[in-house]
Structure 1
Amino acid sequence: MPDQTKHSLRDLFLRNKRDLLAYLTRRVGSDDASDLLQETFARALRYESFREIADPPAFLQRIAANLLRDLARRRKIERRIIDSGRDAADVPSEADEGEGRLDLERQSKRLQAAMADLPPGCREVLTLAIHDNLSIEEIAARLGISENGARKQLRRAVLRCRAAVE
């Protein structure tokens, strides 16, 4: 990437980081907002046709919105994995909502750690299922493995993740 483009991206970052950080913080809180802000600019840096963008701040906003959608989808799937191991009696009542939220956050962190510790094949299959929302057939085709192999990898990953959060 030419120095000119790097400078223009740096200037764009300096001009827009406060607004984007405020936008992201309103949506997900301060803990995740800074990571999403960093990822927004990392993705903008990787975009090859950056000079051709008519409205760079709107482009950054679109990247941030897409990252928010990805995070929401990932959390929904994480909750589904976590909740699949719970009984209805284990679900927190409204009175315990604050404590339940903290417990869910702890479980989410354990799940993320478990996902990071998965063998590469399992992690790749789980990532394609969660992040890219691919079917077993699509995962198998993309990775060049059998559908049965993809199912086994996914099953192994889910069992390890479920064990980590229980």
Structure 2
Amino acid sequence: MNAFKALYANHHSWLNHWLRKKMGNHFDAADLAQDTFLRVLLSGDADKLHEPRAFLTTVASGLVSNFYRRKKLEQAYLDALLHLPEAEAPSPEAKAIMLETLVEIDGLLDGLPYKVRKAFLLSQLDGMSHADIAGELGVSISTVKRYIVQAVEQCCFGGA
């Protein structure tokens, strides 16, 4: 714990400043700095770091990437909701649940190969047939079926 306290004391201000330049605002930078140190704390590796700034930058960069990815996904979802008739618009609670679900599914699919993700999304979002997906991806129908099963397993069981 002493190693973590020293890491935090010696590098928090620097990381916060680095993130402020990346994010363009103090609030998001402060949140991501805290998230970065939380990950380091939970990893238990604070006492093993030989290049702490390089490590913190790597962790923080991943969090910045996730932040912008989530913002992009959130904006796409909100844009899609604009096309719904007002009577069909979900409640604020339903919107929040849907957004969290989309972010979770996006994270799960992110670890899959491109063609597996693409087959799943074409099937689920665009309603394409297996034959049409096979044609678009240049693979067999049985491969498309295997891809979709792989993606569903990833979403349901986290790849287990």
TM-score (norm 2): 0.57
Identify if the C-alpha distance between structure 1 residues 35 and 113 changes in structure 2 by more than 3 Å, giving closer, same or farther.
Answer: farther
1:35 corresponds to which of 31, 35, 60: 31
Match of 2:60, as an amino acid? A
* Superposition pairs of residues 135-150 of structure 1, within 5 angstroms: 135=117, 136=120, 137=148, 138=150, 140-142=152-154, 143-144=156-157
Asked if 2 retains the 8 angstrom alpha-carbon contact of 1:74 and 1:131, the reply is: no
* Superposition pairs of residues 12-51 of structure 1, within 5 angstroms: 12-28=7-23, 29-51=25-47
2:65 corresponds to which of 65, 69, 72: 69
Residue equivalent to 1:126: 102
* Matched residue count: 113
- Highest RCO, 1 vs 2 (Cα 8 Å, sep ≥ 6): 1
Instruction: Find out whether 1:10 has 2:9 as its counterpart.
Output: no
- Please, which runs of 5 or more residues in structure 2 have no aligned partner? 84-90, 111-116, 121-147
Note the alpha carbon deviations across 1:93-150, whole angstroms, 9 max, x for none.
Answer: xxxxxxxxxxxxxxxxx989942xx2xxx677423223344445455313249xxxxx
RMSD, matched Cα = 3.1
State the structure with more CA Rg.
2
- Please, which runs of 5 or more residues in structure 1 have no aligned partner? 1-5, 88-109, 146-166
SS in 2 for 1:131: helix
1:60 corresponds to which of 35, 56, 59: 56
Q: Determine the C-alpha separation between the residues in 2 that align with 1:41 and 1:82.
A: 31
Asked if 1 retains the 8 angstrom alpha-carbon contact of 2:20 and 2:26, the reply is: yes
> What fraction of aligned residue pairs are identical, expressed as a percent?
23
Match of 2:15, as an amino acid? L
TM-score (norm 1): 0.56
